[in-house]
Structure 1
Amino acid sequence: MNAAKTFHVTTFGCQMNEHDSERMKGMLESLGYAEAPEQEGADLILFNTCSIREKADSRFIAYLQQAAAHKRRAPGTVIGVGGCWAQSVKHDVFRQFPYVDVAFGPGQVHKLAEFLTTDSLTAQGFFEFEGFTGHLPVKRARDFQGWVQISAGCNMKCSYCIVPATRGRQVDRPLDELVAEVRDMVENGVLEVTLLGQNVNAYGRAVRGGERSSFAALLHELDALDGLRRIRYTSPHPQDMKEDVVLAHAQLESVCPHMHLPLQTGSSRVLKAMRRTYDRARFLDRVALIREHNPDIALTTDIIVGFPGETEADFAETLEVCEEVGFDGAFTFIYSPRRDTEAAELVEDFVDHEIAVARMERLVEVIQRRAAERAQRFVGRTLDVLVEGSSRTDAARLRGRSGHGKVVNFSGLAEPGEIVPVQITAATSQTLAGEMSLLARALV
């Protein structure tokens, strides 16, 4: 009996790519492939790529070159490249990398199976959006947590962002289709879902094959599903953060008390150059509305340092907003020019790298200090924690995540997938620590 062919998937970038990679793995296993722990020796080497930042491109190319070396030693190896990078260089991928056998964009994941089951594996590329991957088999990283793609593409025109060029204009899935998918997930043991889209709170305006809806309506429908304990989502846009979604956080038990609201910069002048469609005052107004209805909510954000033309005064405004808001955490990035974006043409306005690095250090100090201050509100409280496994720093302790999105390392006896009460005893800017009593576990 011949051994099953093997595959190895390397994923770069966002949660949407994590979602698509889980679908690729499920699809491949349904075709009889087995997952290999390492790239070396795999019959099929797959990359799910990202184009948001230059660093991701560089890392991917290094991995791709390793795969090419492996293919020279084992000529029967198939190399596949999917995701945003593949979409962005669709006209050149086979010319630049002749050892690639198949390339496909985010809307063509299902074509991988078609390619692998053809009689002749000649190089092929698939880049026209055909549909979502929700119907494909899935192999989840954790059985109790699942990604749900509610839309694809984006109608915004941020001057630094390549996503509209790689994923196209926004297309939404019908509400009843999403509810059915999540219901099936819950019936198969999923407790927590994360809703994915480039601009999730714009959901419902561009439904393919269904009636218009809204993101708040989707949250209400999912909250009504028995057995679904937690709903998360990423990422919303401040322009579309309306009161109905804010109220959903306050009214719906399963919607987590955590919101990721990208700021990008605290300077209205730079926000305009970024084409972000809101200014500093509008962002702060949204924060005030959110906290009015959800005083305990955890707010996280994205911030770009060194956008072309950013002055010291502009950067100071970013620091001021971060001090005022007191984010619970932030993803911070030094601006990276992306091909085919408006901002990449502003070469004469590029900020010196040394200046950008120095600003980043100052920003991180503010973010971490304010996050540490905010985290102290949890000390002495008991939080429900979804157990994910062993602590990464101490194998004798457990690791999980609170509804606020905070990582919690704690002592106790529990299995991955359980939601247990943990008394918080200490807090840093990034993690919480605590103890779970045997009595508390008995009451779960």
Structure 2
Amino acid sequence: MNVYDSARMADVLAPLGYEPADAPDGADMVIVNTCHIRENASEKTFHELGRLRQMKQRKAAEGGQMVLAVAGCVAQAEGAEIMARAPFVDMVFGPQAYHRLPEMVARATRSAAGPGERGVLDTDFPVESKFDHLPEEQKLEGASAFLTVQEGCDKFCTFCVVPYTRGAEFSRPAAQIVAEARRLVGSGAKEITLLGQNVNAYHGAGPDGRDWGLGRLIRALAEIDGLARIRYTTSHPRDMDDDLISAHGAVPALMPYLHLPVQSGSDRVLEAMNRKHKAADYRRIVDKLRAARPDLALSSDFIVGFPGESEADFKETLKLVGDVGYAQAFSFKYSSRPGTPAALLEMQIEEQAKSDRLYALQALLTEQQTAFNASMAGRTLPVLVEKTGKLPGQLIGKSPYLQSVVIRGNPRLIGQIVPVAIDAGYANSLSGSVEPVAEMEGAA
């Protein structure tokens, strides 16, 4: 979502004469777009600001001006602290305010030129939707695009800061999303990933006067001529309704890959996390999904060492992983987030125990991912070629299951979907060769 937000910031700034720079040193503006999910996010932000301060000073010594801004969720959560600890920062604004960038830039550059207000802070949650005030997207780079359809979260998991930094759930009108998707396809997009903090909680107003769920929206997007692939992330098990599940079997453009975070296999831990689903609920959803799309590849998120997690709880997580089988997964040790309920819980787990559990979980997940990738050998997969690789003649593409595929071929194939004969699968990628007919078509 931050990638999407950064691109839209560039769109907002373009009428002011700004265009993307290759590096921060010497730039007229630098925006640090932050995320608060990972550990030590705020300290990493201040470390980066210290480095950028030197660049800002060099720019001033040369007679120029660098506008330095902090955006995103760290800005939303700790805006006043940033202004106090880093007074050289010109603008601090949250993820719901970047449509007001032109006004903020005017205020920041005015105050930098002479006496007046020092720094601009905008972390309000506006009543109006920012999407109603954004310009149309600029030219797309590449054949894959992100499209935010939903923001915010009403779930309030006890470990998560998102409801406090992104606000309540909000869904964009379906017609607005379809129009943006058409523009992206017109600019060359063959694949669109729908984004949301809880993307499958989407309930936007449809052109028929009814609220549409994500399944109905996906079906409408699949009717766009030229849109070959649709993905979505990130989902919550509680919002995986039957209509969306059936779309996985009924819509060919919807790729057979789903990121469905479960966090833990223990009902006791899930309750402490306020996930409001049980491990058995998750298993039933997975069974229904695989009944609709038998070749569906699943990924998930896991947190180990949540306060109060016992060895028995952790073994329940390992059992769930063994039962479900994942093509990919993200796993982390629990780390406290200030302001979240879990930070106040007793029975915090010792660091060594967390490390041991994470090691065991990741070993199992890596084994599953490697086996899944190895199972692709001997198959021919449609691969969206995205870019050149590190070696001469090497191309990198993406399989329907979101695997990186390394092939040799003509760079003219970039942006095309071509059949690739997979010869090997590794822990993190596949390798293969483009069928000769595709090579000729791409070079024609």
Provide TM-score, normalisation by structure 1. 0.91
Task: Say which SS state the counterpart of residue 96 (structure 2) adopts.
Answer: helix
Task: Say which SS state the counterpart of residue 2 (structure 2) adopts.
Answer: helix
Q: Which residue of 2 aligns with 1:46?
A: 31
- Deviations 1:130-161 (Å, cap 9, x if unpaired)? 32347335457733221111111111010000
Residue pair 1:389, 1:399 contacting (<8 A) in 2 also: yes
Task: Give the % identical residues.
Answer: 38
Q: Which residue of 2 aligns with 1:256?
A: 255
Residue pair 2:327, 2:372 contacting (<8 A) in 1 also: yes
Q: Could you tell me how far 1:211 is from its partner in structure 2?
A: 4.3
The 10-residue stretch of structure 1 (226-235 or 35-44) with the greater mean CA deviation from structure 2: 35-44
Q: Give the whole-Å Cα distance in 1 for the aligned partners of 2:123 and 2:414.
A: 38
Residue pair 2:393, 2:409 contacting (<8 A) in 1 also: no
Q: Give the whole-Å Cα distance in 1 for the aligned partners of 2:373 and 2:31.
A: 40
- Deviations 1:195-245 (Å, cap 9, x if unpaired)? 01111111116899x742211110111011111111111011011112211
Q: Could you tell me how far 1:77 is from its partner in structure 2?
A: 2.1
Q: 2:393 matched to 1:404?
A: no
Task: Say which SS state the counterpart of residue 284 (structure 2) adopts.
Answer: helix
Q: Which residue of 1 aligns with 2:125?
A: 129
Task: Say which SS state the counterpart of residue 318 (structure 2) adopts.
Answer: helix
Letter paired with 1:290: L
Q: Give the whole-Å Cα distance in 1 for the aligned partners of 2:257 and 2:139.
A: 23
Q: Could you tell me how far 1:366 is from its partner in structure 2?
A: 0.2
Go from structure 1 to structure 2 and tell me whether the alpha carbon gap of 1:206 and 1:352 turns closer, same or farther (over 3 Å shift).
farther
The 10-residue stretch of structure 1 (281-290 or 430-439) with the greater mean CA deviation from structure 2: 430-439
Q: Which residue of 1 aligns with 2:68?
A: 79
The 10-residue stretch of structure 1 (404-413 or 129-138) with the greater mean CA deviation from structure 2: 129-138
**1:8-407 equivalence runs, <5 A:** 16-75=1-60, 76-118=65-107, 120-121=110-111, 122=117, 123-130=119-126, 131-133=129-131, 135-138=134-137, 142-204=141-203, 211-346=210-345, 348-392=346-390, 394-407=391-404
Q: Could you tell me how far 1:283 is from its partner in structure 2?
A: 0.7
Aligned Cα root-mean-square deviation (Å)? 2.1
Go from structure 1 to structure 2 and tell me whether the alpha carbon gap of 1:338 and 1:207 turns closer, same or farther (over 3 Å shift).
farther
Q: Could you tell me how far 1:432 is from its partner in structure 2?
A: 1.1
Q: Give the whole-Å Cα distance in 2 for the aligned partners of 1:44 and 1:230.
A: 35
Task: Say which SS state the counterpart of residue 378 (structure 1) adopts.
Answer: coil
Residue pair 1:151, 1:197 contacting (<8 A) in 2 also: yes
Q: Could you tell me how far 1:73 is from its partner in structure 2?
A: 3.4
- Deviations 1:36-79 (Å, cap 9, x if unpaired)? 22222222121111111223333222111111222333343211
Q: Could you tell me how far 1:92 is from its partner in structure 2?
A: 2.9
Q: Give the whole-Å Cα distance in 2 for the aligned partners of 1:442 and 1:296.
A: 30
Letter paired with 1:436: V
Q: Give the whole-Å Cα distance in 2 for the aligned partners of 1:277 and 1:34.
A: 45
Letter paired with 1:43: D
Q: Which residue of 2 aligns with 1:3?
A: none
- Deviations 1:163-196 (Å, cap 9, x if unpaired)? 0001111011111111111111111211111101
Q: Give the whole-Å Cα distance in 1 for the aligned partners of 2:194 and 2:354.
A: 33
Q: Give the whole-Å Cα distance in 2 for the aligned partners of 1:73 and 1:292.
A: 61
Q: Give the whole-Å Cα distance in 2 for the aligned partners of 1:156 and 1:327.
A: 24
How many residues get paired? 427
Go from structure 1 to structure 2 and tell me whether the alpha carbon gap of 1:321 and 1:170 turns closer, same or farther (over 3 Å shift).
same
Q: Give the whole-Å Cα distance in 2 for the aligned partners of 1:103 and 1:324.
A: 46
The 10-residue stretch of structure 1 (192-201 or 61-70) with the greater mean CA deviation from structure 2: 61-70
Residue pair 2:144, 2:192 contacting (<8 A) in 1 also: yes
Q: Give the whole-Å Cα distance in 2 for the aligned partners of 1:21 and 1:103.
A: 14
Q: 2:441 matched to 1:439?
A: no
Residue pair 2:140, 2:184 contacting (<8 A) in 1 also: no
